[in-house]
Amino acid sequence: MIKVAIMGYGTVGAGVYKVLTGNRGEITRRLQGEEIEVAHVLDLRDFPGDPAEAVLTHDFQDILNDPEVAIVVETMGGLRPAYGFTKQLLEAGKCVCTSNKELVAEHGLELRRVAHASGVNYLFEASCGGGIPVIHVLDGALTADYIDEVSGILNGTTNYILSQMTAQGQDFNEALKEAQAMGYAELHPEADIEGHDAQRKIAILSTLAYGKYINYKNVYTEGISCIDSVDIAFAKAVGRKIKLIARSRRTAEGTFAMVAPMMIGRENLLYNVDGVLNAVQLHGNAVGNVTLFGSGAGSLPTASAVAGDVISCARSLHEPIPSDWSDQEMDLLESEEMPCAFFVRFRGSESEARELFADAELTRIPETDEIGITTGIMTEKSLMDVRSGTGHIVKAIRLG
């Protein structure tokens, strides 16, 4: 019998309780007969009549001081008090499994060090891409590859909004309101809309892929609130969709990482990721592209990932599960140096457009008298140079 505690009985925490108790038979088989028991659930609230009521506590000390608790699930979210609780638990020799991407992005480096010093594990599969097992794939499977790119749609809220704008012709504010009404966007949606959620996730995944710590604050990030219906119409006209892409890439010149809306072509599997679905694409020098699709959020998919980490901890209670990144921080190149093609909205003449962008393809749509310019591969820096020489560039969106 392995005793588990759950901290935070919200959407994800309640899902973890449900998975660990509801799938008991399957889990016991996975642990060759060993059983998992949820011994404590920590929350400030009461849950009268809830199945977890019998094990509910309001006092963190009940978990910290229970010597039988070997694994703790942290689904509280936010930095405080999650950070202090997690650190104390790891120091006390308990494994911690979390879905808390803020905490992992902010203090993951330290918490992992504390865990390994205590001979236990700090696991966070659920922090990136909900139910998509991308961390297992990076840490456990693609270990013989030199991974040189991580690219994905890592935020369901923004993908839902962009999908609605594309499919229903809604403008950004309409689509955001609908997403809020459907429960896909929060009342204060800035963390999603402005890309900060995806920024944390791509920092975590890139750290695991490249083996050096990437500070999320250094990842260049744009949100989607600037995307309008003319952008969407232009994207359709050139056979593309606009998606909020989180991407990092190791090149001979160095490593880039960014979050930005990009126009994705049909040949890219990410083109097919609509609604609240998430996807991650990994590129290795041997395996080529591996793409994983799944639910990026939601109670049970996220809980599945947390509970999977609980099983992993239970299988190796007092030995660190390999995770081979160093504490050394990786320098990132300026995003404006990253080579990519752009889609430029241009309010000028065709001849000027052709003069400014050699080999560009021009597109006209009925919705506007602007010209759409699909450029060749260039850098944002060189695009800015062009921009400073003309007053006619309205905006530019990367092709991805």
Just list the catalytic residues.
Answer: 201
Using rule CB under 8 A, residue 189 touches its own copies: no
C-alpha to C-alpha distance for 242 and 264, rounded to whole angstroms: 6
Using rule CB under 8 A, residue 288 touches its own copies: yes
C-alpha to C-alpha distance for 13 and 7, rounded to whole angstroms: 7
Reported as half-sphere exposure (CB side, CA atoms, 13 A), residue 237 has a value of 20
Residue in 65, 143, 168, 251 binding its own copies, rule: CB under 8 A: 143
Stretch 316-355: interaction string toward its own copies, x if CB under 8 A: ------x-x-------------------------------
Sheet holding 122-123, edge to edge: 56-57, 36-42, 2-7, 69-74, 95-98, 122-123
132's CB contacts (< 8 A; 6+ apart) are 278, 279, 280, 292, 293, 294, 295, 296, 305
Using rule CB under 8 A, residue 251 touches its own copies: no
* Minimum CB distance to its own copies, residue 328 (Å): 11
Stretch that binds its own copies, among 42-50, 113-121, 128-136, 166-174 (CB under 8 A): 128-136
User: Three-state SS for 159?
Assistant: helix
* Minimum CB distance to its own copies, residue 271 (Å): 8
CB atoms within 10 A of CB 47: 13
Contact status, residue 118 vs residue 95, Cβ threshold 8 Å: no
Using rule CB under 8 A, residue 183 touches its own copies: no
Contact status, residue 13 vs residue 99, Cβ threshold 8 Å: no
Residue in 11, 30, 238, 362 binding its own copies, rule: CB under 8 A: 30
Q: Which residues between 2 and 21 bind its own copies (CB under 8 A)?
A: 15, 18-20
Using rule CB under 8 A, residue 116 touches its own copies: no
Per-position b or e across 68-99, b if 16+ CB within 10 A of its CB = ebbbbbbbbbeeeebbebbbbbbebebbbbbb
Query: What is the length of the chain?
Result: 400
* Minimum CB distance to its own copies, residue 47 (Å): 20
Using rule CB under 8 A, residue 311 touches its own copies: yes
Residue number, 328 or 388, with CB nearest to its own copies: 328
Using rule CB under 8 A, residue 131 touches its own copies: yes
DSSP assigned state of 271 = G
Applying CB under 8 A, the residues found at the interface with its own copies are: 15, 18-20, 22-23, 26-27, 29-32, 125, 131-133, 136-137, 140-146, 211, 269, 272, 284-295, 298, 300-301, 303-305, 307-308, 310-312, 315, 322, 324
